[in-house]
Amino acid sequence: MSGYFELVDAPEGGYRIRLVDGTGALMAVSVTFPTKRAAAAGVAKAREIAGTGLIRDRSHDQQSEPLKPPQLFKQHAKPAKKSVTGMTSRAGSQQAKRASAHQ
């Protein structure tokens, strides 16, 4: 599910960024940026932080261990090795047989 950043006017002037998820639900609102260029730089920074930032639990019932985000995707076995053409060796030999049959 993909979301998007939305640039909006701030009530006191300037611009804010809203982070909206794929269903349209508001996830976060940024600080006020003075210009659109500064807001775009804020989006770039938010993307960087979201991809690498840790979760800091500052709640009243914080845990002693750091929180870890849930794993979104299951780990799969390594895919079969592929040739330079991007096909597995068996598929490549079958394609070569078909190509020679049509000549």
CA dist 80 and 95 (Å) reads 17
pLDDT digits 0-9 by tens, 20-55: 999 999 999 999 999 999 999 999 999 999 888 888
CATH code of the domain in which 28 resides: 3.30.160.160
Residue 99 phi, psi (nearest 5): -65, -40
Higher-pLDDT residue of 46, 63:
46
Identify whether 92 is part of a domain: no
Does the structure show a pLDDT above 60 at 9? yes
| Mean pLDDT computed over 81-100 | 53
Residue type, 44: A
Identify whether 20 is part of a domain: yes
Q: Model-level pTM? A: 0.57
CA dist 67 and 55 (Å) reads 6
Identify whether 85 is part of a domain: no
Judge whether 30 and 46 are in contact, CB under 8 Å. yes
Identify whether 42 is part of a domain: yes
Identify whether 88 is part of a domain: no
Does the structure show a pLDDT above 90 at 65? no
- Domain total of the chain: 1
Question: With pLDDT > 70 as the criterion, what percentage of the chain qualifies?
Answer: 59
Range of the domain at 21: 4-52
